Amino acid sequence: MRKIKKALISVSNKQNLKKLLSTLKKYNIEIISSGGTFKEIKKLGYKCIEVSDYTNSPEILGGRVKTLHPKIHGGILNIRSNKTHQKDIKENEFGKIDLVIVNFYPFEKIIQSSNNHDKIIENIDIGGPTLVRSAAKNFKYVTVITNPDQYSELIKQMRFLNGSTSFEFRKKLSSEAFSDTSYYDSLISNYFNKINGIEFPKKKVIGSKIIDKFRYGENPHQQGALYSNSDNFKLKQLSGKQLSYNNYNDIFAALEISKSLPKNTGTVIIKHTNPCGVSIVKDKLKSFSAAFKCDPKSAFGGIVSCNFIMSKKVALEVQKIFLEVIIANGYEKEALKILKKKKNLRIIDAKDFKPVETKSVVSNLDSSLHQSIDNIIFNKNNFKVVSKVKPSSKQFRDLIFAFNICRFTKSNAIVLAKELNTIGIGSGQPSRLDSCKIAVDKMNKFQSKNINDIVAASDAFFPFVDGIEKLVQAGATAIVQPYGSIRDKEIIKFANQTKVALVFSKTRHFKH
Amino acid sequence: MRKIKKALISVSNKQNLKKLLSTLKKYNIEIISSGGTFKEIKKLGYKCIEVSDYTNSPEILGGRVKTLHPKIHGGILNIRSNKTHQKDIKENEFGKIDLVIVNFYPFEKIIQSSNNHDKIIENIDIGGPTLVRSAAKNFKYVTVITNPDQYSELIKQMRFLNGSTSFEFRKKLSSEAFSDTSYYDSLISNYFNKINGIEFPKKKVIGSKIIDKFRYGENPHQQGALYSNSDNFKLKQLSGKQLSYNNYNDIFAALEISKSLPKNTGTVIIKHTNPCGVSIVKDKLKSFSAAFKCDPKSAFGGIVSCNFIMSKKVALEVQKIFLEVIIANGYEKEALKILKKKKNLRIIDAKDFKPVETKSVVSNLDSSLHQSIDNIIFNKNNFKVVSKVKPSSKQFRDLIFAFNICRFTKSNAIVLAKELNTIGIGSGQPSRLDSCKIAVDKMNKFQSKNINDIVAASDAFFPFVDGIEKLVQAGATAIVQPYGSIRDKEIIKFANQTKVALVFSKTRHFKH
């Protein structure tokens, strides 16, 4: 336990100071402060020494240099049990500072709200992080507070321990303090990388804030949590059971597709992070029904994302099936009422969720793979018709749609589509032929017998004719695939023999 | 351009100082320094003012407080074009510091090499990061160097610009400086979280160092890079083409399995991050052949990881098939010679690769999902025999093996095994029945007709009898699956009717 005698307070966020100050007064704790915090403390009616008076050194450079002084840092950093340290403190007439309450210039808020580079730079706090780092290093003796949220816990401790804090408490606060300094500098570092156009710096630091701690991770013997890279995590749960790790994994997979669809249009159904039905027809009900029909068996226990405001009509259909999660861009009152009747169904409003991240990170055995995300919808400009038969404009439209869905489907991916609906999806197979078979089997199982004018997309090139043969036999009349196989010519020949429109895409959509 | 007149040097790593000092001398740059750096500069024969003489303030607390002084930070942080700042500087008789060369106490090295908590804490640098942050903030005027690697570039600039540095150069250095401070504090933060037992802190900061920048990411229109969380990335490429993003993704998938196998035993074949053959029989050649035989078609263009020293015998077999990557725990000379003949084949030595990371992170739309990894091999203690027929000890051994492989296979995963070899793997299907079919089809295609005594494992429970029925029909005589379906009783009944040994695992191995 350490008795607190002197505190230094320098806070950018001045919330909840009053209750704290009254506690400090109760235990006769001397307060040092400066600038706006000094004024605020005075205004609230408490005694306070100004830093410049304390150090006998003027505040200079419009506040850029205030606390960077040996008397302040000596006062914080001295080891109370070290005789030399104590001799130094005595000889230099430095007092000891036992409590440091600091929060930083709001760099994060500023980068979110301003493009003014000078203003952003001015909001890089130098003195604050230094005070916090000094105090956190010397946590054996010093208590460090970096957030108004911690005030109540501090007050509780001091009351309980008669003006002291415990070692365990200080150690925990130190952890949070270094979380804060490293998070703060990660933002600054990423800002500088951005303005310098550095995509992959030598050292990459990613900071994120906790959103949810789950009951468990992907499996019950794992622990898991959700973090957000910004202050603006705007997925709202309106009803239902607590979201799990796997729910979020599927929700993100669903929203990644939904956010790529035409505005306020389309339905996506996800099972185990893979799409099992996507439709972008404009009519909401038709869109939902078509997506569901693609693979109703897989949709069972899945996640539906409606890229539109949920209507009563659609809600009535949705509530008929067992789903883990339903997502929409807002809900009509009546629709919400209907869906809320299913107590377990997790209802998510994604109206305000507008992610901007363009990098993907996957960790792997002490390492991590970073890449820019595959966020391009390829269209005619990227396609080259290589068969004698040319695709109709309707076929072209469906080919673009199907190839876009490949982007979100685990490789090898085969997507069959018709009139802006998927009608068969094969995924996750090491053999492309197997993915073709799965897609065709799904179609034959769930679509009407006489379906025609089917288009097919493959996320990467066909290594042999067998895959494309399977698709043509199943009724595909237009096919898109990236080029690159040594058998491309054979494949073109086969397309011409079977009078199929074949389109080569310049690039692929692997997703492993 | 800014002319450099005064430099502050404080380096923990004293490499390559000499050449730098001679350049500074050439342009008549005044040097301020302290402690070990001061002594080193003197020893090398250069002029230098000690910080305590410069500030007229003694170095205190055994070096804990040296540069935390307004004269130093005012000298760095003053805006050269700001009249008030310049007045402050003049009135206080502070000189301007134009170049800051600092590197930090070696916190990273210390945590890797020591468990001495006090020593670790003492290696948290306070003064260094503060100098660097001050200088980096004021990059419009100040040049900041944080690594001896940057000396040669600085020297080049100064020679080219006659003792000055360019704005662009300083801006870039600032980026690297904040990378360094945030990386440094991420290590400290994670150390504190560790000693406090905090698994999921409010703010999580992960720092990593670049290992490789790829030609592209998962697809050619994406950019990608590999980062490591430690200084010890010990995968060595001995031969072959440059490793790609997808290669690494597969390599990590392979090594995750290999590292879970009995020491120096077993072969793993990966295609698109999924296992398509695993064997843990002790004989190296038999192990390789059995793993390959599981799905030779998928193995084509795949990645083989041999969890042993590559022998000549195995190399002769390996070189017969087309592979992207071969991994082993070292290579016999003859074996390496054989494999190197395939110029494109990427040959990896994983002998020294001993990852420790226990957390997994996957980023998703401005968010990231963090979890402890699924690193448990479940055995009899986790299993409960629920059928009348009990598994033999051989069957139990194979069930444990097969269930362990499920852990690394994309859900829904079905693994068929016999005598410590996989003989059919079904993965990545939303329907468990479909995964059963795929596994059985592979077995029927690639194994001898009269195979018997097959065991099967399912990563999660069977929702219906149909899946298990499919496996029993295919010849499975012992099956392991987690419990939890409302039809568990039906499934037990079916097992008893068909005289199959059925084992329930207490938990599942989802991998989505």
Provide the CB-side half-sphere exposure for A28 (13 A, CA): 2
pLDDT band at A419 (very low <50, low <70, confident <90, very high): very high
Task: Provide the whole-model pTM.
Answer: 0.94
Contact A65 B77 (CB under 8 A): yes
Structure-token pair, residue B165: 């540095």
Q: Cα separation of A240 and A500, whole Å?
A: 48
Q: Are residues A218 and B186, on separate chains, in Cβ contact within 8 Å?
A: no
Say which CATH superfamily domain A235-349 falls into. AICAR transformylase, duplication domain (3.40.140.20)
**Confidence at A198, pLDDT banded by 50, 70, 90:** very high
Which of A272, A312, A342, A351 is catalytic? The answer is A272
Residue B300: what are its φ and ψ, rounded to 5°?
A: -60, 120
| Start-to-end CA span in chain A (Å) | 54
Question: Which of A322, A325, A332, A331 is CA-nearest to residue A349?
Answer: A331
| pLDDT grade for B452, boundaries at 50, 70 and 90 | confident
Confidence band for A65, pLDDT divided at 50, 70 and 90: confident
Which residues are CB-neighbours of B344 under 8 A, at least 6 positions away?
B240, B241
Residue A62: the pLDDT is 83
Beta carbon pairs, A and B, within 8 Å? 450
Banded model confidence at residue B59, pLDDT cuts 50, 70, 90? confident
Closest CB to A224: pick one of B295, B370, B431.
B370
According to DSSP, the β-strands at B267-271 and B274-279 are: antiparallel
Other CB atoms closer than 10 Å to residue A470's CB: what's the count? 22
Closest CA to B9 of B178, B24, A35, B376: B24
Angle among Cα B341, B354, B345 to the nearest 5 degrees reads: 15
Residue of B nearest to A52 (CA): B70
Question: In this model, does residue B189 exceed pLDDT 90?
Answer: yes
Name the helix (H) or strand (E) containing A164: strand A164-165
For B236-349, CATH number out of 3.40.50.300, 3.40.140.20, 3.40.50.2300, 3.40.1280.10 equals 3.40.140.20
The pLDDT of residue A495 is above 90: yes
> What SS3 class is residue A94?
coil
Give residue-wise pLDDT tens across range A135-173. 999 999 999 999 999 999 999 999 999 999 999 999 999
pLDDT band at B44 (very low <50, low <70, confident <90, very high): very high
CA-based nearest residue in chain A for residue B274: A430
Q: How far is A141 from chain B (nearest CA, A)?
A: 13
Whole-angstrom Cα distance, residue A274 to residue B34? 60
The answer to whether A317 and A289 have CB atoms below 8 angstroms apart is yes
DSSP B261-286: SSTT--EEEEETTEEEEEE--SSHHH
Q: Which of residues 44-63 of B touch A (CB under 8 A)?
A: 57-58, 60-62
Position A47: which residue type? K
B308-337 in b/e form (b: 16+ CB < 10 A) is bbbbeebbeebbeeebbbbbbbbbbeebbe
| Residue A472, φ and ψ in degrees, nearest 5 | -65, -40
Cβ atoms of residues B100 and B180 within 8 Å: no
Give the confidence band of B74 by pLDDT, cuts at 50, 70, 90: very high
Indicate the average pLDDT of chain B: 95
* Total residues found in chain A within this entry: 512
What is the SS3 assignment for A488?
helix
Domain A2-196 belongs to what topology?
Rossmann fold (3.40.50)
B residues 23-42 closer than 8 Å to A (CB): none
**Half-sphere exposure of A453 toward its Cβ, with a 13 Å CA cutoff?**
12
Q: Transcribe A422-484 into DSSP letters.
A: EEEEE-S-SSHHHHHHHHHHHHHHHS-TT--SEEEEESS--SSHHHHHHHHHTTEEEEEEE--
pLDDT (0 to 100) of residue A344: 96
Q: Rounded to 5 degrees, what are φ and ψ at A424?
A: 180, 125
For the residues A41-66, what does the mean pLDDT come to? 90
Which of chain B's residues have a Cβ under 8 Å away from the Cβ of A77?
61, 64-65, 126
- Given this model, what pLDDT does residue A231 score? 76
DSSP bridge pairs for A236: A349
How is residue A39 written in tokens? 């004024």
Mean pLDDT of B440-459: 94
Which chain A residue has the Cα nearest residue B78?
A61
What's the pLDDT score for residue A153? 96
CB contact under 8 Å between A252 and B367, yes or no, is yes
CB atoms A203 and B204 under 8 Å? no
d(CA A258, CA A261): 5
Q: What pLDDT is attached to residue B449?
A: 84
Q: Decide: B260 and B404 in contact? Cβ < 8 Å.
A: yes
Any A CB within 8 A of B22 CB: no
β-bridge mates for residue A46, sequence order: none
User: Distance, in angstroms, between B220 CA and closest chain A CA?
Assistant: 7
Cβ proximity of A411 and B258 under 8 Å: no
Q: What is the mean pLDDT of residues A307-314?
A: 98
Which amino acid is it at B357?
Answer: E
CATH class of B2-195: alpha beta
CA distance B100 to B7: 6
Q: Do A70 and B65 touch (CB under 8 A)?
A: yes
Q: Chain B contact for A511, CB < 8 A?
A: yes
- Which residues in chain A touch residue B348, judged by CB atoms under 8 angstroms apart? none
Asked whether the beta carbons of residue B189 and residue A203 sit closer than 8 angstroms, the reply is no
Residue A410 DSSP one-character state: P
Other CB atoms within 10 A of residue A93 CB: 7
Number of H helices, E strands in chain A: 19, 23
- Which residues of B have a catalytic role annotated? 137, 272
Give the list of residues 6+ apart from residue A419 with CB closer than 8 angstroms, or none: A281, A394, A398
| Residue B58 pLDDT | 83
Residues 131-150 of B with CB under 8 A from A: 133-134, 136-137
3-class DSSP string for B169-210: HHHHHHHHHHHHHHHHHHHHHHHHHHHCCCCCCCEEEEEEEE
Asked if pLDDT for residue B478 goes beyond 90, the answer is: yes
- In this predicted structure, the answer to whether residue B231 has a pLDDT above a threshold of 80 is no
pLDDT at residue B73 in the model: 96
Closest CA to B324 of B288, B353, B298: B298
Whether chain B has a CB inside 8 Å of the CB on A444: the answer is no
Contacts of B229 (CB under 8 A, 6+ apart): A363, A366, A367, A368, B206, B207, B208, B357
> What per-residue confidence (pLDDT) applies to B465?
96
Q: Which of residues 245-284 of A touch B (CB under 8 A)?
A: 245-246, 248-250, 252, 255-256, 259, 271-274, 276
Query: Chain B: nearest CA to A154, how far in angstroms?
Result: 18
Contact B230/A at CB under 8 A: yes
Residues A406 and A413: their CA atoms lie apart, in Å, by 6
Q: Considering CB atoms only, which of A189, A204, A509 is closest to B227?
A: A204
Helix (H) or strand (E) holding B225: strand B224-228
Considering A14, A18, A96, A137, which one is annotated as catalytic?
A137
The answer, for B85 touching chain A at a CB cutoff of 8 Å, is: yes
Answer yes or no: do B192 and A174 touch at CB < 8 A: yes
What mean pLDDT comes out for the span A346-363? 93
- Whether A64 shows a pLDDT value over 90: the answer reads no
Phi, psi of B297 (to 5 degrees): -70, -45
The correct CATH number of B380-505 out of 3.30.2010.30, 3.40.50.620, 3.30.1490.270, 3.40.140.20 is 3.40.140.20
- Do B223 and A229 meet the contact criterion of CB atoms below 8 Å apart? no
Q: With an 8 Å Cβ cutoff, are A365 and B355 in contact?
A: yes
Residue A451 has pLDDT above 90, yes or no: no
User: Which of B93, B65, B82 lies closest to A68, judged by CA?
Assistant: B65
> What span, in angstroms and rounded, lies between the C-alpha atoms of A59 and B104?
28
> What's the mean per-residue pLDDT of chain A?
95
Please check whether residue B87 touches A, CB under 8 A: no
Residues of chain B positioned with their CB less than 8 A from the CB of A62: 82, 84-85
pLDDT at A450: 83
| A383: pLDDT strictly greater than 90 | yes
pLDDT of A58 reads 83
Res. A338 pLDDT band, cuts 50 70 90:
very high
CB spacing of A196 vs B209 below 8 angstroms:
no
Segments making up each domain of chain A, as ranges:
2-196, 235-349, 380-505
Q: Indicate if the pLDDT at residue A25 is higher than 80.
A: yes
Using the Cβ of B512 and the Cβ atoms of chain A, whether some distance falls under 8 Å is answered with yes
For B429, the token pair is 């299907």
Which residues in chain B (62-81) have CB-CB distances under 8 A to chain A?
62, 64-65, 68-70, 72-74, 77-79
